[in-house]
Amino acid sequence: MKKNMRKVAALGLCVALGATMLTACGGSKGESASGGKTELNFGIWDENQRPAMEKMVKAYEKENSDVKINIQLTPYKGGEYWTKLEAAASGGKAPDVFWLNVLHLDSYVEGGILDDLTDKIKDSDIKDSYSETLVNNYVRDKKNYAVPKDFDTNAMWYNKEIFDKCGVPYPTDDMSYDDLIATAKALKDSGKLGDGVYPFACPVDFQTWYYQTVYANGGYILSDDKKSTGYDDPKTQEGIQCWIDMYNEGLSPSASALSETTADAMFEGGQLAMNFAGSYMVPEYASNDAIKDKVDCVEIPTFNGKEDNCINGLGYAVFEGSKNKEAAEDFAIWLGSKEAQEIQGKTGVVISARTDAQKCFAEANSQYNLAAYTNHADEAYPLPVCTKAAELYDLEATELQKAYNGEKSLSDVCKGLTKQADKLLQEK
């Protein structure tokens, strides 16, 4: 394990190990809990989801009286969750079962952190109960490394009060990108938006904005062999330029303004008539007294005649070094069951990955058109990932900001970005 973890360190995902980090993560001790029960540690990062995880653990323990599960929550912010997880894995003390996102999958597979769940998943109903896209998110070299937990897609939110004030019809599920532009212009031309209020926002955001239009336009970010990028492809650039055009037409706050105040914050502050938002923002919007009764959502507008939505999510992984691996595997598979996924979905915090439990998310927040997030989930595009994904995304955001700010043309930015990104992908 330590030899494999050096690979992860070489990828820039680990930091120097310290006793404090190892202790903080707890880990798989191979010991029994009080009463002779098998003890498992369960790593998560979101306080908002702790209640759901606690309910799921309680339900599992009721069915499996010989197992005791301890939830270990480490905040995601600043990479703390991953730092402690990697440090604990290097010392053989990572949680037996833990949350994993697709971004870290390739590095963790290469680092030897993840247990192969292929046979366990094959013997379950998971492949029949989940979309192929979500299951394959965690497959590498025909091996399954995680059970899908949840997913997030995107929808377009709008402020009904602003639309009513401007006398513009509300957005609909069947809008195209051209319809979005026409609606934004109608809002602006009404002259009733008010100071500091914009029709829309176009931040430099890959998952919620420009990847969607890049893919729908036939462009790409990462080649199939993960050895080169597609930034210099005209189709890719057209999928990015469409958002820069909205800046140029005065339909969005400037890129510099959006780098200081997020689009979500502006929407919640009544400064945007429309905004794209991932499904993870629903609990925040629904709990904001200033807007919760004024907003609703529709499906993301199509681009080039195609449904353009990105899908991302989390999975439940098992630590390869777990001292109670069989029990950990059984728990991870159960977390993908209908019972577990419905418990999670009914909280309304995330969309459960299991197909027959996805409806729970919309039912938990029935005041909104949340089917906009799930109607075409099977057609959504997965994020491009590789062992260099985190570095690639950072480089991409830094360079594209120059095009959004008008410092350079998108074409020039993409030429330089291609050289830097392709060199990054070639590094060991």
Domains and CATH numbers, the chain: 2-152+311-382 (3.40.190.10), 154-308+388-426 (3.40.190.10)
Average confidence (pLDDT) over 418-423: 96
Residue 5 predicted with pLDDT over 60: no
In this predicted structure, what is the pLDDT of residue 366? 93
Residue 23 predicted with pLDDT over 80: no
Surface-to-core class of residue 3, CB atoms within 10 Å of its CB (0-12 exposed, 13-18 middle, 19+ buried): exposed
Residue 30 predicted with pLDDT over 70: no
Using the structure block, give the residue that is written with the tokens 């510099």: 256
Tokens encoding 94 = 């990572």
Residue 282 predicted with pLDDT over 50: yes
Average confidence (pLDDT) over 186-204: 96
Tokens encoding 168 = 């513009």
Tokens encoding 17 = 């190990």
Average confidence (pLDDT) over 323-341: 98
Distance CA 418, CA 396 (A): 9
Distance CA 361, CA 368 (A): 11
- Which tens digit of pLDDT belongs to each residue from 288-306? 999 999 999 999 999 999 9
Helices (DSSP H) in 39-101: which residue ranges?
Answer: 50-63, 80-90
Q: How confident is the model at residue 32 (pLDDT cuts 50, 70, 90)?
A: low
* Alpha-carbon torsion, ordered 303, 315, 102, 115, to 10 deg: -150
- What percent helix, strand, coil does the chain show, rounded to 5? 50, 15, 35
Average confidence (pLDDT) over 83-101: 95
In this predicted structure, what is the pLDDT of residue 386? 87
Q: How confident is the model at residue 34 (pLDDT cuts 50, 70, 90)?
A: low
Residue 325 predicted with pLDDT over 50: yes
In this predicted structure, what is the pLDDT of residue 214? 97
The DSSP code sequence of 9-37 is HHTT------HHHHHHH------EETTTE
Distance CA 42, CA 69 (A): 7
User: Mean pLDDT score of the chain, rounded to an integer?
Assistant: 90
pTM listed for this prediction: 0.85
Q: How confident is the model at residue 35 (pLDDT cuts 50, 70, 90)?
A: low
Average confidence (pLDDT) over 175-186: 98
Distance CA 172, CA 297 (A): 9
Tell me phi and psi for residue 417, to 5 degrees.
-65, -40
Q: How confident is the model at residue 149 (pLDDT cuts 50, 70, 90)?
A: very high
Residue 12 predicted with pLDDT over 50: no
Residue 375 predicted with pLDDT over 70: yes
Average confidence (pLDDT) over 80-87: 95
